[in-house]
Chains A and B, each alone.
Chain A
Amino acid sequence: MNNLFQYVPGNSLIHRLNPITKIFLTIIICAAAFITDRLLFLVGLLAVDMLIGIIAGVADRTWNIFRGLLKIAVFLFLLQVLLTRKGTPVFWIITDQGLLTAGKVVLRLVVVCMPLALVLAVTRISDLTNALVQVLHVPYPYAFTLSTAIRFIPQFLEEMAEIMEAQTARGVAFDKAKGLKKLSMMLPLCAPLLISSVRRTDQTAAAAEVRGFHLRTRTSGYKRYPFSYVDLGTVVFCLLLLAGAIVL
């Protein structure tokens, strides 16, 4: 679970894309998924997601993300199928319309979530921040906040796991509880988690301040983020995708 957010080093085509292009690609895929109403197009988008993962050389990760999403997807699918009444019945209370809608909803979810996770896997958070600041002129404090938030997610998860472990050792029956019961047992533990993260935020802010955070400007980064032909190609591809979603 933790390494789902970790950067995978590499030198693939996708790695070398400008971070802004990657964000653009993500946004376009999301937009296309919501604009289109055709199941086949959504399947195509899913294939695009997979292809991005394969080109980036993170096929394993792509598969893991896909599998993770699949669990939620199955749940959503069943819910949709059982609750949709429109259309002609196929079997029991299941209708053809229900199946179609459910399929679309689920595909959309998967298609939208995957590029986001993939971009995080093949982009250094620092590159993302710097590019946002340099190219899009996002104020540095905002970009820093964003990148810090992303960086803290795995730490947060790890901490929660450690806290649960510590409480198990004290006799709280986390190792026996399941599902909702476990969730309700976790709630009281959110207080220490919250406190420690607020404290960490404080410390991070202080550390940043001490190291001259406020002196940083848009031109402070030494690394440049030029656009290449590959970027251009990607943008053209994105536009085609978008056009496809609108027309089809």
Chain B
Amino acid sequence: MIEMKHVSFAYKDHQPSVRDLSFRLEKGEFAAILGANGAGKTTTVRLLDGLLKPTSGQVLIDDADAATSQVSERARKVGFLFQNPDRQICRNSVREEILFGLRTVCGGEGEEALQARTEEVLKEFSFTGEEEPFSLSRGQRQLVALASILAVEPEILILDEPTTGLDYRECCHIMNRIRRMNEEKQVTVIMVCHDMEVVLDYAHRALIMAGGQLLADGPVPGIFRDAELLEKASVLPPQMIGLGMRLGDGFENACTPEAMAEAVMARRKKRSVPHE
């Protein structure tokens, strides 16, 4: 459970970046934060993890005020993927990188268990473990950063643009992995994402931000049907929903290609009845 209560935040000597934000995520929820560049998404997730202290208001993690404990103490519970993977990577090989994260937070479980877990994660992400992180491509570095966070198996996952810079296959791969953690282990996921197709496919709930404020908070895909709201937040709806909304007239509810095809077929049947 993670909750924000009337949180406002301003960077030093700046206008507020986040204003009076309130929402609550229950255990096992999968939520996405959407909004234009500079809307305050990164600021919001940093507040959630306690990396920033709210200027006013409260952040609660499992009903405890986040301000009463240190961020590093919560690392076991809360995993945080940064927008820029290079800030996080600090070891010379992918294996070391994953082990490093494990050792800092799960040191008590014994070196052998950690080694085994590392090998598992390496295999899952198709790394040999010997790669030098800094000579990998940006997308691959993103995968390294994500792998080292997932290895820890946190209860809450905060992801700042996890799929940016990944190709379609890798994107599906890691999102499926995240979904599995969400479904099997009831991990709470909150991700910032600019790719509405990913949001539509994976998230159950969307928080839409604009100018540091929460414009809307609702279920996916329903929230994508509010054209006026999306316009205000400069968010383009996923393609199928956009198409359905433009067609109107019964097509609005189709949000996958399959559903759209079905709706078209149903329509044809209905139309062809008088001719027969």
Contact = CB atoms under 8 A, between A and B. Distances in A.
Real binding pair: yes
Contacts of A168: 51, 71-72, 75
Contacts of A196: 86, 134
A174 B75 CA distance: 12
A173 B72 contact: yes
Contacts of B92: 191
A175 B87 contact: no
A172 B104 contact: yes
B87 A163 contact: yes
B51 A171 contact: no
Interface stretch (B27-35, B76-84, B174-182): B76-84
Interface residues of B, number: 27
Contact of A175 (B72, B88, B89): B72
Interface in A184-199: 188-189, 191-192, 195-196, 199
B88 A167 contact: yes
B70 interface: yes
B238 interface: no
A33 B152 CA distance: 57
Contact of A171 (B75, B82, B86, B87): B75
Contacts of A167: 88, 90
A59 to B, nearest CB: 16
Nearest to A188: B90
A171 B134 contact: no
Contact of A176 (B70, B89, B148): B70
Contact of B134 (A162, A163, A188, A192): A192
Interface string B100-132: 110011000000000000000000000000000
B144 to A, nearest CB: 12
B134 A175 contact: no
Contacts of B21: none
Contact of B70 (A175, A188, A192): A175
Contacts of A172: 72, 104
B86 A169 contact: no
B101 A189 contact: no
A159 interface: yes
B161 interface: no
B149 interface: yes
B81 to A, nearest CB: 9
A162 B87 contact: yes
Contacts of A189: 90
A174 B72 contact: yes
Contact of B72 (A162, A171, A192, A195): A171
B155 interface: no
B3 interface: no
B1 to A, nearest CB: 19
B106 to A, nearest CB: 9
B188 to A, nearest CB: 16
B80 A169 contact: yes
A166 B104 contact: no
A176 B134 contact: no
A166 B87 contact: yes
A7 B8 CA distance: 29
A189 B89 CA distance: 9
B90 A159 contact: no
Contacts of B134: 192, 195-196, 199
A223 interface: no
A178 interface: no
Given A170-B105, A172-B104, A165 B72 contact: no
B88 A166 contact: yes
Nearest to B158: A169
A165 B75 contact: no
Interface string A129-159: 0000000000000000000000000000001
Interface of A: 3, 159, 162-163, 165-176, 188-189, 191-192, 195-196, 199
Interface of B: 13, 49, 51, 70-73, 75-76, 78, 80, 82, 84, 86-90, 92, 100-101, 104-105, 134, 148-149, 152
